Chains A and B, each alone.
Chain A
């Protein structure tokens, strides 16, 4: 298949599935089976096409399709892997979750069709945000993700879910309107320099001509873009919609919002970071991302330590982790960027697992309150292990993947000479870890309430979580070569380095220990991360 066909398939399959799911409400008694089948086909095909497309990017480099409209490079491919992979696993988990909700009368068949319809629509808009090369289309896609997911947040139609949906659409639409203003400023600026206005909307052309942009307008535009898309990514102080929406949405949706959507929004910030770094030099965008990152981590740490609601705690953990990603980009340099991209990937996997596991707990206990959820280990041992692993991984416990990326971010901070600020961020991360351990001990241990029946939920609700754990351990112990290659290429794109070697590679601390024994290996001795580990 040609790149155009592949990317169009990725976009149109979930879009078509969404329309079919909406229409299936009139299918009578077969509705439930048919709509589930359409949903399953949609998420499976998106996963398959994502893998095919990413394989092509790995083999032949970036692909451009439909003139200048679509462009997928290694940077986009990482985020496409998240949308396709996490979309598939949370979609699979959704089937079990929604069947449970239908059986218990929490939602009706019409709401089920809406759920699957909006789920696919949401997937399609996220794919569009990742593959768009046209900057206006990027904005349209991010705004469309809000439109696609608002009804998912408000699915249950209760007071609190409607309140969350309202805050979500108003805060995100207003935030993203800032993003539009920033986009318009960059585009207007470029169209006065580039002869053909059609080309001034192309991100690739903007990167090539970034030096010609007006510095004042570019600075103002980046502020607007950081506020705009930062709102959607969940950066402090624009994060206020996030705990409400993540807590009120059905758990698989919380997982998808946190693992895929916030990263798609951050990808757009990275796209502009590349342009602006070329126009103004990296110092200003880095300082802004550093500040937003530190504030996000600090704010989240304070809320996590006192939180009593399981899903709200996980939501603040999302604020913290997107803060770490911003901090890594703020530190900059090859190691900082690489660590930031790896952390975005790692956090998504762990967060999706934690939200899915919290979904099982909610279905069983009927509450998210840590005061009422006790003894999960006795009631649902498998879910308890998944929940504990996911949540402790989020706190940065080895040997899970998040530990590796946090370690690299801290190393990058120290190497860049931000010693004191890095120490402060490590203290904040320790506070987060304390809050997380408190939640784990309080919910998994203790005596289960008497009205809660022992026994796991169905296997469909466990398999996706088992797969998440395997990926987490794999990424934590020995990350697979294709992922390392994608991350390396993506870092070069962000740094605008062309094909020049980066001089660093991703190694987990346990790999570094083995390697540092073989000190004669010249490729290892040029690796700053390995050097720093050897020096400790």
Chain B
């Protein structure tokens, strides 16, 4: 099995794990699935480091492991586990429809990246398509869920998508670039968690449809 094939297969696995994050009922299971997905992302970084002989990517893999496989899922597991709102658990569309739209997004993304003429991704177009698709899957998660905690996971998926694009297209990027992006993303997630907890404490709801006092 060639290196590029491994990366493309792992990228496919990334889509499956993100569907698991989107589909999970409880926030704690979403946190675990997100950790699993980030682990797949770390594996992709390691595989890419071998193929491209880019040792920076091994460093990325280590930072991503610490932040995305351990730290962020742990924070979410601890902070969101106690928050419950059964009324908000239903998605706007069914799981089957989500899977169908996800498939469409991935196919469309694959078609779009087909036009990209960069030598760095000559054999990695499927993975590049997945990375773009993954970004929009995150957006899909945000717009199709009433539970505000799911919106946090949606943001994390979008961020993983851009992270993979960066690794595929610019594996020689300085490590500081990746650290900057990762740090910002962690802070954003932490603040979302704090505000979500405040909302749950003040209004006893996690339902985005209840957050409609402001309009016009």
Contact = CB atoms under 8 A, between A and B. Distances in A.
A191 B170 contact: yes
Interface of B: 112, 115-120, 135, 138-139, 142, 148, 151, 154-155, 158-159, 161-162, 165-166, 169-170, 172-174, 177, 180-181, 183-184, 187-188, 191-192, 195-196, 198-199, 202-203, 211-214, 216
Contacts of A307: 216
Contact of A160 (B117, B195, B198, B214): B214
A405 interface: no
A201 B177 CA distance: 9
A169 B173 contact: no
* Residue from A170, A201, A306 with most neighbouring chain B CB atoms (10 Å): A170
A170 B138 CA distance: 12
B195 A150 contact: yes
Interface footprint category on A: 35 or more
B122 to A, nearest CB: 11
Contacts of B162: 177, 180-181, 184
Contact of B180 (A137, A187, A192): A137
Contacts of B165: 181, 184-185, 188
B117 to A, nearest CB: 6
Nearest to A214: B117
A247 B155 contact: no
B195 A166 contact: yes
B198 A173 contact: no
Interface in A134-166: 136-137, 139-140, 143-144, 146-147, 150-151, 154, 157-160, 162-166
Interface string A51-68: 000000000000000000
A244 B155 contact: no
Contacts of B135: 177, 181
* Residue from B117, B138, B161, B195 with most neighbouring chain A CB atoms (10 Å): B195
A248 interface: yes
* Interface SS of A by simple majority: helix
B184 A144 contact: yes
Contacts of A169: 188, 191-192, 195
Contacts of B191: 147, 150-151, 169
A236 B161 CA distance: 25
A351 interface: no
A481 interface: no
* Residue from B159, B173, B184, B192 with most neighbouring chain A CB atoms (10 Å): B184
Given A140-B181, A157-B202, 16 more contacts: A136-B177, A140-B180, A150-B191, A158-B202, A159-B202, A166-B195, A180-B162, A184-B165, A184-B166, A191-B173, A192-B119, A201-B174, A216-B117, A217-B118, A303-B216, A306-B216
B170 A197 contact: yes
Given A174-B139, A197-B174, A166 B196 contact: yes
B192 A173 contact: yes
Contacts of A217: 116, 118
Nearest to B212: A163
Contacts of B184: 139-140, 143-144, 147
Contacts of B174: 197-198, 201
A189 interface: yes
16 contacts: A136-B181, A151-B191, A157-B202, A159-B202, A162-B199, A165-B195, A166-B196, A170-B148, A170-B155, A170-B192, A177-B162, A184-B166, A185-B169, A188-B169, A192-B118, A201-B174
B116 A147 contact: no
A194 B109 CA distance: 27
* Residue from B158, B177, B192 with most neighbouring chain A CB atoms (10 Å): B177
A198 B56 CA distance: 13
Contact of B115 (A185, A192, A216, A247): A216
A278 interface: no
Given A169-B195, A188-B120, A201-B174, A164 B158 contact: no
A461 interface: no
Nearest to B161: A181
Contact of B158 (A139, A174, A198, A220): A174
A248 B214 contact: yes
A438 interface: no
A167 interface: yes
B110 to A, nearest CB: 15
A156 to B, nearest CB: 11
A281 B9 CA distance: 39
A343 interface: no
Nearest to A216: B115
A374 interface: no
